[in-house]
Amino acid sequence: MALNGTEITEPVEGLFSLWSRPGFLVRRLHQISVAVFIEGMAELELTPLQFGALSIIAVNPGMEQAAVGTELGVDRANNADVLNRLEKGALIVRHTAPHDRRTKKVYLTQRGREMVLAGNERFADIQKRFLGPLSATERKIFLALLSKLIEENNSLGRTVLRFAER
């Protein structure tokens, strides 16, 4: 069949439905997760990666900046961008390590501490809204299955996530 001189094809049968493709479903779920997060953190103007970095630094003051990226599972360029934005917002400071001038240690400022605490209060509501359609038992199973998929396939990602805390 031709349309305006260009040959077009008939429908292709036997393809996997998008709804049976884990990658499609994970990507769509991620889009929804980010939208719920951004809405919940709107007043604080924090992205998921920024909040993640602040959370990591909050429990590990003085952590090397490269280790923050490893904990987040992001590459060096994205980690640098996240930390630069947090530093410009006066939420973190970086200091050169005395033993190695190439190493930067990261700390929360007082403003950063206040921001991570405010974000943490909102995060409970964000989680509740996002996971709301699931029962308590389903939530545990869902999170366990996600963790298992990540752990078993961790080496296949662009960055290798380090499993520090659960």
Model pLDDT for residues 47-57, shown as the tens digit of each residue: 999 999 999 99
Report yes or no: 106 and 92 within 8 Å, Cβ to Cβ. yes
* Closest to 69 measured CA to CA, from 88, 49, 89, 91: 49
Report yes or no: 112 and 54 within 8 Å, Cβ to Cβ. yes
Q: pLDDT, tens digit, for every residue of 138-150?
A: 999 999 999 999 9
Task: Label residue 127 by pLDDT band (50, 70, 90).
Answer: very high
Give CA torsion, residues 152, 77, 83, 125, to 10 deg. -40
Instruction: Kindly report whether the global pTM for this prediction surpasses the value 0.85.
Output: no
- 3-class secondary-structure state, position 53: helix
CA neighbours within 13 Å on the CB side: how many for 58?
Answer: 19
